[in-house]
Structure 1
Amino acid sequence: MTATGSAEGVPADHQPRAAVSGLVDAVVLGSGVNLIEVVRALSIAGVRSGVVPGPAEPARLSRHVTTVAVRDWADPQLGGEDEFVEKLVRYGLRQSAKPPLLFTSDEALLLVSAHRQRLAEAFRFVIARHTLVINCADKGQFAGLAARLGLPVPATLVLAPGTDWRVPDVAGVGFPLVLKPERRDRAWHSGLGIRGKALHLETPEELAAVWPALRELGQTILLQRAVPGGEDRMESYHVYVDELGQVVGEFTGRKIRTLPTQYGHTTALVVDDAEDVRRCGQQLVAALGLVGVAKFDFKRDDDGRLHLLEVNPRFQLWHHPGARAGANIPDLVHADLTGRPRPPSAPRLRTVHWCHPDDWFAGRRQGLGRVAWARWALRCPAKAFWAWDDPLPLVAAGVKRARR
């Protein structure tokens, strides 16, 4: 299968599997932990990556990569998109065969989706239809999509604080609330002075206190009814659907710890086998008409019900522990895109734990002692940035953190 993506998510440049022989290196766009963990998943299958990271990215020091170009994916004001796409296309056209193209950040996803026709001249990729990409990347539009399709999301209110000085009436949603930006970027974190992905509000007074900063930020925001419980109730469904609409690879997982503790970034997780999460994810794939890869995020409430929070149609850090468990989604995609046979799927996935270096701090906040945490981390089959035969990304990640 040669999947280059059309406006409706179906590959536009389809060639038979026999048309390309052997392994073709992948080009991976993005930054941070998502980038290096997708590189890790590909390296398990013997695939070398050409990366397009941000500046000073630890992934650039991996022995499994070659740096193709550099782009600051985290800068929302970054210009020169057309010129950057042309640079990528020139690189792709110089290769002996169209390289597979993978995207590990929202910014990379949006760039590939917006320029899919031009990029398809030099790369092979599989991606959701453009309207679905936009609806998933923009939380305001996703709220509208969820309402139209009747998806199991918490009660949500979409607001534009920059156009209204009055604190909104949220009686229809109710407290406690989770406040989210339409898209997370540097302005969101610096404008509100927070490290987390969202802000928890217990009372109308707390909403009123933060409202002036939201007006200054000028972004569309979401106010969503909070699902009770900690981050360890966050569960997810991960899937690759080919252009024929068939589920090729899938697994489920659960967060263990995050930093910050509330609405933070994942520092410890487990790939498990939650049947109800898988079943709900499969139903949502069908409802959305999804093609490509995606991660469905749920939170389980006190009664065990799953509430959908977001859908991310891109590659991400969970694909490394998923590969260790027996479901290597990047490798399956790469196999289809290069025409080689799909790797066999494990009849039953292993339970695999993964940890990030920052889990040291998250574990301490949960009361884990140094020795207990170290023993747990050493037993994790998958570790962010680290591999015994490829240690330099972890060294670079430590230096980068120390310089913050």
Structure 2
Amino acid sequence: MSTPEQSSRPWTAPGGMPSVPPASPGSQPPQRTDGGPQDGRQQPPHTSRPGQPPTWQQPPTTGGGPGWQQLPPEDVARLHRPGVAPLRPLLLSDIFGGALQTMRRNPEATIGMGLIVMAVLLVPSLLGSLATVRLLTSLAPTDVEVLTLTVNLGFSLLASYALTGMIVHVVGEAVLGEKAGLGATWRAVRGRLPALIGAMLLMGLLMLVGTVVLVLAVVLLVMALVETGGGMAVLGVILVVLVVLGALVLGVWVSGRLTLAPAAVVLERLGPWRSIARAWSLTRGREGWRVVGISLLAGLVTSLVSFLVQLPLLGVALWALASGGIDLSPLSTSTLVMDHAFQLVVGALVTPFTAGVAALLYLDQRMRREGLDVVLVRVAQDRAARRAR
């Protein structure tokens, strides 16, 4: 298992096109396993300095003891897949399978971490919702319900984003065959939580600005058509529908491209704005549509899983509550408690998978665009050599 120091700055963004870090004497350069080009691609820079721990950009040379060349053939073959995903540009099956394998191999740092994080942040959400219902009795029930939903949504997003950052670190270690524990994950990610929250708020602000612009555009369009007379009513309705549908597609496309921002925050140690810019840069061109499509597919899968998990639990809970004569109105204490309990269970099961998909998509884009797979194979060689001593 890697130490916290070794994983503190794992994936620094490339700043130029230096050559691959030198190998130990007598070693052969790592070969790509996908038939892609060996040279001419941007490589991560040499970021280590004397006295600093090795990073994935500059693995140390092995001095003394057996090198990776002296490993058994089966161990050398595993260097191209030391962990949950192969060290080459990934397929859809690699991404989904890697996310699931991370959860299966390290349940305490994925599902266990999900239960802890969701519980820590959903408890104040529940208390805030109950306080809203108790204190704001002068408001209409519909207004109170909207406020409770807003409080719940805010804490749920915060829990989901914090958990995503932690799972990204776990997946980053799992790719190289390492198992990150709860304590090591917390020590590695706790300093990135403010940046994660800042990125979430910044993306929310950008989405809010976009929504306001859309609403203003629709209102101005309707006003302009009303002034022209009745013959334009049908055309106005069609134009409004087209504008709204176009805005929805644009919103999905933008949000899909920004799914890599949490990985950039945690793995590259970037701030909120730079992580958003980094995610946008990694998904430019045709690759952006691939990232958006896989993210949408992952969202559909998790929605189906959420429905299948919630359906029997909801049926049992409603039967128990109804048979006991307990109030099931939307603002009742029992309903609020039950809703938060469902979010706790579903979030702990679903968020590790979506975070794993985002982390592997980030890894895939860096291997395709920056040749990160070559560096990761070199790191796998070094770690295998150290274990063989």
- TM-score w.r.t. length of structure 2: 0.26
Q: Which has the larger radius of gyration?
A: 2
Instruction: State the structure with bigger RCO (CA 8 A, min sep 6), 1 or 2.
Output: 2
Q: More strand per residue: 1 or 2? A: 1
- TM-score w.r.t. length of structure 1: 0.25
Q: More helix per residue: 1 or 2? A: 2
